[in-house]
Every structure is written in structure tokens, then in C-alpha cells.
């Protein structure tokens, strides 16, 4: 497993198998989060990052997810982008959100850094670290804490 660092200096781990790259994510989370990941694992959408495996060790949740060679929407220049392409991206983002909502999941951190454009010109919504179901808000007092990225809430 190779360790790299992202722009926030956070450790990102990548696994290689049969010339395919996978991302390995870890997070200390409660059982609700694990159940939400299990739901996402069973979703097939070109607009969501695929989760292949989920496991638990020492109070941590780990998951193996698809590596996407793409650019963030923040890397796309505003100059020369046609309105039709912008509408396409917005519709695809709404489709990703719709898929989450069909499974009763709320993303809670939609921002330009969490929206990728893949090689096939498809929007892919990433970063499932603070996903929730609406029922979580009524059950957990701890979820009254403001989650998400400052400036995008």
C-alpha cells in the first residue's frame, strides 16, 4: 500500500491490485455510519464513487473505494465553458443527489472540492465522511453539531 498526501496534508492510502488503483479510507465512526456505507456499497451510479469493501479494526471503519482519475470542478476554468456543459454538470450533480435521497441518505458536504469530472465528462460526487440519514438527526444529540465545510453550510 502506498501512502500519499493530499492538498490538506492528510494521509491518503492507495492499494494496487492487478494494475487497478483503489483508495483506502479510514474513519472513527459509529455503527450508523457503517450502515450508511453498506447502503452506498450497493448503489451503482456513474455519479457516485463506488465502494468495494468495508471492514472494521480497532474501533475504526475502513473502506476500499474506487480511484477516479479526474479533475475537481475547482480546477475548471470559467473561461470558455459553454452553458450547455454547465447545465449538463448541474443535472448530473442533481442526479447524484437524487440517488442518495432515494436511499434515504443526505450527503451534507456538497462543495466544489467534492465534485469531480471524470475522463468521460461525468460528474462524480465524492467524500462520504459525514453522510447521514434524516432519522439520525432525531436519535443522536451529537449530530446537532455543525458538520461540513465552513463557507459551504
Q: Any long-range contacts for 33-38 (C-beta under 8 Å, 24+ apart)? A: 33/61, 33/131, 34/61, 36/105, 36/128, 36/131, 36/132, 36/133, 37/61, 37/63, 37/128, 37/131
Phi, psi of 70 (to 5 degrees): -155, 175
| 3-state secondary structure labels for all residues of 69-94 | CEEEHHHCCCCCCCHHHHHHHHHHHH
Query: For 55, phi and psi rounded to 5 degrees?
Result: -145, 165
Q: Is 109 among the catalytic positions?
A: yes
Distances from the Cα of 34 to the Cα of 25, 102, 115, 130, angstroms: 13, 18, 22, 11
One of 6, 109, 113, 127 is an active-site residue; which one? Answer: 109
Count CB-CB contacts under 10 A for residue 139: 10
Cite the active site residues. Answer: 109
Amino acid at each position: 500500500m502506498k501512502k500519499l498526501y493530499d492538498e490538506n496534508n492528510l494521509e491518503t492510502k492507495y492499494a494496487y491490485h492487478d494494475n487497478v488503483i483503489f483508495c483506502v479510507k479510514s474513519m472513527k465512526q459509529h455503527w450508523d455510519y457503517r450502515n450508511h456505507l453498506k447502503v452506498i456499497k450497493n448503489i451503482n451510479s456513474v455519479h457516485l464513487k463506488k465502494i468495494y469493501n468495508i471492514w472494521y479494526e480497532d474501533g475504526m471503519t475502513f473502506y476500499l473505494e474506487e480511484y477516479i482519475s479526474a479533475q475537481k470542478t475547482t480546477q475548471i476554468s470559467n473561461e470558455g465553458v459553454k452553458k450547455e456543459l454547465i447545465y449538463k454538470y448541474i443535472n448530473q450533480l442533481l442526479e447524484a443527489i437524487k440517488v442518495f435521497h432515494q436511499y434515504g441518505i443526505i450527503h451534507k458536504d456538497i462543495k466544489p472540492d467534492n465534485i469531480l469530472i471524470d475522463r468521460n465528462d461525468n460528474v462524480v460526487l465524492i467524500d462520504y465522511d459525514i453522510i447521514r440519514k434524516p432519522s439520525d438527526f432525531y436519535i443522536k444529540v451529537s449530530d446537532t453539531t455543525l458538520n461540513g465545510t465552513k463557507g459551504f453550510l
